[in-house]
Amino acid sequence: MSGRRFLVTGGSQGIGAAIVQAARSDGAEVVFTGRNEELLDRVTAETGAHGLQADVSVAEDNARTVEVCRERMGGIDVLVNNAGYGYMAEIGQIDMEAMKTMFNTNVFGMVDLTNRVVPVMKAQGAGDIVNIASTSGMKGHANGTAYSASKWAVRGLSQCWQAELRPHDIRVICVCPSEVQTAWGGKVGRNNPNKLYASDIADAILSAISAERRALWPEFAVFATNPWKEG
């Protein structure tokens, strides 16, 4: 990854922070975003990456994010669209405002930021875009109407971007993690060695983008081998 320029959204904790860490350890330059200043500062101090307070659901923040990448790194080689969260509710009890607000981050924010990054990558003549979907976007489940639909949308738009961007030597890789032991959904304190850690997803992503540029992994899921086993 030496010398490659990363932009990671939602890099202040969880999977995003693990990607920031892995990319920095491999010699990449990294700008990452998030909203919580304290978390941003912590990852900045730990990795030497540049943390930027920016909300992916806000257009002005996305414009500023791309500008900061241009100023600090001169471009973007790898965009990791990771920022996202879950709003869970059963049909019959869905708060439409909450579902739309979640789509503003998980889907529309991702599209808005990528819409601004793609011209940069086209001008460079290459780039990698990694979209974090979920196994919830591969199989529906109870309470998943809003979240599963948002991740299904991520898988769908990833296929559209592949069709549009492969002729520009831009790879679009869609990653569907199963359960990962992060603070996602307010769950804290999980530490079962048989379940996935954020670093497992980061390792998989770095493998995909380390492949020869002629090789594209369009989509892959990452499951724990035996998550039912007690720690």
Binding site for ligand NAP (CB under 6 A): 9-10, 12-16, 33-36, 39, 55-57, 82-85, 105, 132, 134, 177, 179-180, 182-184
CB of 143 to ligand NAP, least distance (A): 14
The residue number whose beta carbon is nearest to ligand NAP equals: 14
195 in active site: no
CB of 213 to ligand NAP, least distance (A): 25
Which of these is catalytic: 85, 100, 139, 151? Answer: 151
Which of these is catalytic: 87, 147, 195, 197? Answer: 147
Element (H or E) spanning 130, and its range?
strand 127-132
Cβ contacts of residue 1 below 8 Å, gap of 6+? 23, 26, 27, 28, 206, 209, 210
CB of 173 to ligand NAP, least distance (A): 14
Gap between the Cα atoms of 200 and 4, Å rounded: 21
Angle at 178 between CA 25 and CA 218, to 5 degrees: 70
229 in active site: no
Of 134 and 162, which has the nearer Cβ to ligand NAP? Answer: 134
**By the 8 A CB rule, do 83 and 54 touch?**
no
**By the 8 A CB rule, do 33 and 10 touch?**
yes
Instruction: Report, as residue numbers or ranges, the catalytic residues.
Output: 147, 151
